[in-house]
Amino acid sequence: MRRLAPLVLVLVLAAGCSTSKPGEKIVLPLPTTIVGTVPKAQPVTVPPQYKGGDATAGKAVFTSSGCSGCHTLADANAHGTVGPNLDQLKPPLAKVIVQVINGGGAMPAFKGQLSVKQIADVSAYVVKATGGNPNG
């Protein structure tokens, strides 16, 4: 009997830890009141100096600046695997501009390496080639 007591205890505990029985109300934690407000999303704007980039000229910037070594972009016949696949990402213009200027992850910053016009052009090209949002 002594040997069976621990086994019976384990079986009772293993049978379920719930104290509720079928048909009884299950008590869940109630939500707490949160004081404050949720910040509103800031509208994304494209700085004026980067608007109106030339996508045709941007393709040349894309290929000559090494973008195709890291990114996949079908229109440029680029098959890089270090950076994101731009065809799948379909980035909006504002995001492309910020990324090209500041870099991030393994991508270097191109501010100072490319002119404002070149950044506008390559950004316009990426958005056009991928079908990203040209206004966002």
Please determine, looking at this structure, whether the domain spanning 51-130 carries the CATH number 1.10.760.10: yes
User: What is the chain written as a DSSP string?
Assistant: -TTHHHHHHHHHHHT-S----TTSPPP-PPPPP--S-PPPPPPP---GGGTT--HHHHHHHHHHTTHHHH-EEGGGTEE-SSS-BHHHH---HHHHHHHHHH-BTTBPP-BTTB-HHHHHHHHHHHHHHHT--TT-
Per-residue pLDDT of the chain (136 residues; tens, 9 = 90+): 666 666 666 666 665 555 556 666 766 777 777 778 878 877 778 889 999 999 999 999 999 999 999 999 999 999 999 999 999 999 999 999 999 999 998 999 999 999 999 999 999 999 999 999 988 7
This prediction has a pTM of 0.69
Q: Mark residue 2 as left, alpha or beta (left: phi above 0; alpha: psi -120 to 50; beta: remaining).
A: alpha
What residue segments make up the domains of the chain, in order of their start? 51-130
